[in-house]
Chain A
Amino acid sequence: MSSLSKSLTPSRFTSTVYRRPLRWYVSKIIAYGVLVVGTVVMIIPFMYMVSTSLKTTIDSYSFPPTWIPNPVVWQNYVDIWKMAPLFNVAINSIKISVLSTLGQVISCSLAAFAFARLRFKGREVIFMLVLATMMIPSQVTLIPTYLVFRAFGWINTHAPLIVPSWFGGAFGIFLVRQFFLSIPEELVDAAKVDGCNPFRIYWQIFMPLAMPVLATMAIFSFLNSWNDLLGPLIYLRDLVLMTFPVALASFSGHNVMLNLPLLMTASLVSILPTVILVFAMQKYFIQGIVLSGLKV
C-alpha cells in the first residue's frame, strides 16, 4: 500500500477502528491463489524428479503416480555411478564449466579494464565491434568455428568447449566495463603516483572491488557452460568425454541405457550444482538478469 493511501484511510480521520473492506481481502486471496497455483506448477516437475529418483523401476511406472515412494530406494544414487560412465561425465562437466568460467572472468575483466580505463587509438571502434558480435546469432559462426577446431585436431576433445572462453565475450566485457567505469578516478591517480603500472592497478585495485560483478558474470558463464547442449553435441563423440546435457540426451534415446528412476536420478544430479550455485548467490544472479536482460 502506498504511503498516501495509508494516510487517506479513515482511521486517521475518525475515531472508529478502520475495517478493511471485503474487496481488500478478496483481492489478497486471489493474489495468493494465483501465486500458489503458479508455484505448484513450477515445483511439481522437481517433486516428480525427486520422487521418481527414489522409486523402484516397477513403482515408477505405476499410475496414477504416487508422490511418496514406497519403498524408498536410495540405492539409485549409488547405482547411477556404476551403470553409465556418469562419474566421468560429472568430472567432465565440472572441468569444462570451471575452466570456461575462469577464462571468461580473466579475459573479460582484462578487456573491460582496457575499455573502461585506458586511452588508446581505436578504443571506441573495437568496443563497438565487440558489442556487435552479440547481435550475430551463434549459428552463423558455428560451422567455420567447427572447421577451425577440426583443423587444430581438437574434435572429440574438451578444448573447443573451453578455449573460446579464454578469448573474451561481449556480455562479460560489457557488464564488467560498466562497473569499472564507476570506480573513482582519484583511486587510479593515487596508484599512478605510487608508481603502479596498469596491470597492478587492474589486479590489486579494480579486481578486488569488482568481486560482486565478477560473481554475477561467473554465475552466468558457469550456467551457460554447464547447460550447453549444442557445443558438446557437435564436438564430442565418446561417451566418456561427454557432459551432463549431451549424456542425458543420449541416455534417453531409443536405445535406452537407463531405466526411469535412474534417468531421473541422473537428471537430478546434473541440475544440483546449478541450483545450489544460484540459490547460494541469488543476489548476484538476479542482479545479472536485471542489468542485462540476459537469459541463460
Chain B
Amino acid sequence: MGASSIRPSRRGPAGNATVTAPNPVFGKGGRLASALQRINYSETFWAYLFLGPTLIGLLVFSLGPILASLGLSLMKWNIIDTPKWVGLLNFQVLFKESLFWKALVNTLRYMVMAIPLEMLLSLVFAVLLSRGLRGESFFRTAFFAPGVCSVVAMAMVWRQIFDFKLGMLNGLLSYFGVNPIPWLLITQTAMPAVVLMSVWMGVGFSMLLWLAALQGVPQTYYDAALVDGAGRWAKFRYVTWPLITPTAFFMLIIDVIASFQVFQQTFVLTGGGPQQSTYTLVLYIYDKAFRNFLLGDASATAYVLFFIMLGLTVVQFRLQKRWVNYELA
C-alpha cells in the first residue's frame, strides 16, 4: 500500500486521470482498476464474453454431438451395456435392411408428390395475389394461417376429414359419384393423404416467398413486354419466371431438405402405416433410437440421411446453371 508509484495507464481515453491516484490498487487508476479498464476496452474480451453462450452451445449441442454421432455410428450400443466397436457394420446392416429402403422410397415418394404440388399451387396463388385485387391481405392471411398451427393439432382435424365413413372428404366426393375411399387405411392413398395435409399447411409460406420475389420484378420489364405485345402467359414465361428462378431454386433446396425430415405428419396422421406405406426416414431413426435403443444403428441412419440430403443439395447446385437466372435480378 505504501508504494506511491504512479502508473499512467497505457490505454483508455482518460489516461491523465490516473496521475493523482488516491489508492494505487483499488482507486481510480490503481493497478487493478487500470487492468480492469484495459479489459474494458479490449474488444476481444467483450466479444468472447458476448459469444460465451453461443460457443458453449456450438460445442455441446452441435460440434460435439456431430462427432459423437459419427463415433456412435461405428458402434453397437443399447444404452445400458458398454458400447462395442463394430466399424462399418451398422452401415452394412442398414443397406441390407428392407425397412430402410422402404422408408427411403417413402420419403422420396413424399418429396416428389409434395414439392411440385406445393410450389405450383403457391405460385398460382402468389401470382393472383400480386395483381392488386381487392381483399388481398385477407386471402394472404387465410393462406398462411394453417402453417403457424401445430401439425399435431391440425392432424387431429385431418384424421376426421379423411375418415372412411364420416369424413368430409368422402362426403364431398360422393356428390361427384365417387365411392368412399378409406384414405388413411389403404397403402395406395395413405401417402397422398399425408401429402395433402402437408401441402395444405405449407402452401401459405411458399406463397409469401413467391410474393416477395414477384414484388422484386421491375415494372419497366412488364411495360416493355406490353409494348412488344406480349400476352399474359408470354409475360409470365419470359419476364416473370426468369426473374424469380433464384427464389424457385432457394425454395427447392429448402423443401428437399425439409421433405427428408418429414416426421410429425406421418407420426400423427398414420403412425407410418398402413403396412409401413408412410413410414419415413426420420420415423425410422426415431423408432431405432428411442423405441429400440439401437443407438449405433440410429446414428448410422442419421448420417446416411445427412449425406443423401447433402448429395441432393450439391446436385441441385450443379444443375442450377441450366435454369436459374442470377444476372437479371
Contacts and interface: CB of A to CB of B under 8 A. Distances in A.
Contact of A223 (B131, B139, B143, B148): B148
A31 B282 contact: no
Contacts of B147: 295-296
A28 B58 CA distance: 53
Given A35-B128, A137-B302, A249-B268, A144 B208 contact: no
Nearest to B14: A195
A137 B257 contact: yes
Given A114-B50, A137-B261, A227-B150, A195 B13 contact: yes
Nearest to B165: A63
Nearest to B128: A31
Contacts of A74: none
Interface in B277-314: 282, 285-286, 289-290, 295, 298-299, 302-303, 305-306, 309-310
A190 interface: no
The size class of the interface chain B forms with chain A is 35 or more
B204 interface: yes
A119 B41 CA distance: 12
Interface string A267-279: 1101100110011
A17 interface: no
A87 interface: no
B241 interface: no
B55 A110 contact: no
B43 A118 contact: yes
A232 B83 CA distance: 26
A42 B145 contact: yes
A138 B63 CA distance: 12
Nearest to A258: B156
Interface in A52-97: 52, 61, 63-65
Given A4-B226, A270-B150, A45 B158 contact: yes
A110 B69 contact: no
Pick from B124, B145, B157 the residue with the most CB of A within 10 Å.
Answer: B157
Interface in B140-188: 141-143, 145-154, 156-161, 165-166, 168, 171
